[in-house]
Chains A and B, each alone.
Chain A
Amino acid sequence: MDSGGRIAARTPLTAAAAGRHDATRPRRFRALVARTLRTRGAGFGLVVVAVVLVTALGADLIAPYHPNQLQEAGVLRAPSPAHWLGTDQLARDVLSRIIYGTRTSMQAGVVSVGFALIAGVSMGLLAGYYRGWMDDLLMLLVDALWSFPTLVLALAIAASLGPGLTNAMLAIGIVFTPVFTRLVRGQTLSVRERDFILAARAIGARPGRVMLRHIWPNVTAPIIVQASLLVASAIVVEAALSFLGLGIEPPAASWGSMLKGGYQYMQQALWLSVAPGVAIFVTVLAFNLLGDGLRQALDPRLWRQGES
């Protein structure tokens, strides 16, 4: 058979294999979800995260009032049927501001972790794959960034860039980058010694292709777990920055700035401090539980433990 015939004979097989591969994807995803839900609390985490995401996306439809609309009820009104979580010091509906604050927190969590993920994974892959001077240099930078207390560095960067949600997200992203760099570098160092990487290099695959097509898919599991846990941390850091006046600018709603405003009226209106705090607590708890569940599901060594 000539080479064309060989190719023709192979094509259906390859297509069938690809089909099989595609067919196994939903099954693998379902298995992953099932294993995640076996961990105690992960179901709660998944449900709350889903609710928080839907709330963030549909805030305009869900919130009873516009977050900055002044209410006739007046300032510092206690929770009532018209205003389930009361009104704040400027007569705005607290529930509506909490709902819109979900959007701010989710945006801060997802965007800053996304930034850290892209920067950290790229640096980790480069450091782990090339080793040598590039590894030394990148790890020196990462270790230096790692030495700053998270909130102090985020505060200093946010202060340099100026207040605002975008700058706060960038500051948080920079602060979290070392987490992904270290994680991916460690994984890459181990994966790059495996036979299939040697084979890929032997057939002439370029470094970029080796890193993205062969190493990256093998280091994603711990990254998914870490990303879920870091979204929780990012939400807390954004709230802390807003509390200190370096996050989102007024009058936009954010859980941290709501706490800052409510804290001064603690004696007259405790609900102003309780509602945003509970929102942060429940959301962070949910992301942590989901992260723990994913960790158990993605690491076969922990499967039995997760079931216990």
Chain B
Amino acid sequence: MTEYVLRRIAYFVAVLLVVTLVTFSVALLLPGDPALAYIGEANMRDKTMYETMRRELGLDQAIPVQYAKWLGRALRGDLGRSIRTREPALEGLLARFPVTLHLTAMAMVVALLIAVPVGILSAVRPNSNADRAGTVLAMSGVAVPDFWLGIMLIYTFSVWLKMLPPSGYVPLSQGLWPSVQSMVLPALSLGMAFSALIMRQLRSSLIEVLQQEFVLAARAKGLPERLVVGRHALKNALIPVVTVVGLQTGRLFGGAVVVETIFALPGLGRLAADSIFFRDFPMLQGVVLILALAVLLANLLTDLLYAFLDPRIRYG
């Protein structure tokens, strides 16, 4: 197990290095001159100021040197300064990360609350009306774009029924209920497609597990069906579901970009959209890097958890 963990962590570091290279390259390609953006339109004609800024940003050096210096600074937690707000990029990112984390966590909870009961019901009675309804729900959930679902939810619950706020973020520190109210609609928009994926995965793996001999043995010794499914089958069927949840975290972070924009949530996703609009390349670079790091960590944890749950993986 130790060897597997070490090998996996070494690969994580190698992939992370390539991720930084891609992130740096993407920012390098962004249109516009960063030095001009920093000194502002008012000082555009000031050549000395422009040259000084280029030197300060290291833009007068070769690209590999620029990358090495950027990487060195990033490792020390310095991701540059925002062109728009002039604050250190990392500070801005860390201030917004909890909002995105809150949104994705709530979306995951919503997804599990929908997917687990429907998935179990579909698997226990395959081809029944309940299963068909579950399949329709899953297919629709996968197909509905999260941003459109968000718009429809705002219209239904905020404009028409006036039950929930249409936008804005209330942190948990300002009260549980107002916070939940502000996050229900964004979490539902983001979590719907995710719940559909979990539902389908849970259904197929539970159907497979329910056909195995240990389930037959549990039934033969007279255990009620509730315990056969809940205590014996579900535990085994959840292993592939854990993998799907872990590996699809990136999907949630990606979806957060538009969902945060629609619901005016001050998270990383909205920051990414705003950074593109204002050509704030250090901030965009930071958002892309932090989200990729979060996905990489989620994948690493999933792999390690999977190896822990299923010994065949670590010896494979």
Contacts and interface: CB of A to CB of B under 8 A. Distances in A.
Contacts of A274: 152
A288 to B, nearest CB: 6
Contact of B276 (A159, A277, A281): A159
A244 to B, nearest CB: 6
Contacts of A33: none
B295 A148 contact: yes
B255 A151 contact: yes
A259 B151 contact: yes
Contacts of A159: 30, 276, 284
Interface string A132-151: 00000000110111011111
B139 interface: yes
B250 A148 contact: yes
Residue of A152, A232, A267, A277 with most partner-chain B CB within 10 A: A152
Contact of B299 (A145, A147, A239, A266): A147
B250 A149 contact: yes
B251 interface: yes
Contacts of B277: 245
A280 interface: yes
Interface stretch (B14-22, B75-83, B216-224): B14-22
A236 interface: yes
A285 B257 contact: no
A113 to B, nearest CB: 17
Contacts of A266: 151, 154-155, 159
Q: In terms of DSSP, what is the predominant structure of the interface of chain A?
A: helix
A288 B127 CA distance: 20
Chain B interface mostly helix, strand, loop or mixed?
A: helix
Nearest to B26: A156
Interface residues of B, number: 52
A161 interface: yes
A288 B143 contact: yes
Nearest to A278: B148
Contact of B254 (A150, A160, A285, A289): A150
A151 B269 CA distance: 10
Contacts of A294: none
A254 interface: no
Contact of B127 (A41, A246, A282, A308): A308
Interface stretch (B172-180, B234-242, B286-294, B304-312): B286-294
B18 A144 contact: yes
Contacts of B147: 239-240, 243, 259
A148 B292 CA distance: 5
A121 interface: no
Contact of B148 (A151, A162, A259, A267): A259
Nearest to B149: A277
B159 A239 contact: no
A149 B254 contact: yes
A280 B193 CA distance: 14
B145 interface: yes
A148 B15 CA distance: 11
Interface in A8-53: 40-41
Given A151-B257, A276-B148, A277-B151, 8 more contacts: A141-B18, A160-B30, A239-B147, A244-B258, A263-B151, A274-B152, A277-B152, A308-B127
21 contacts: A144-B15, A144-B22, A148-B250, A148-B295, A149-B250, A150-B254, A152-B269, A152-B272, A152-B291, A156-B23, A156-B284, A159-B284, A160-B29, A160-B31, A244-B273, A245-B277, A274-B152, A280-B148, A281-B144, A285-B139, A288-B143
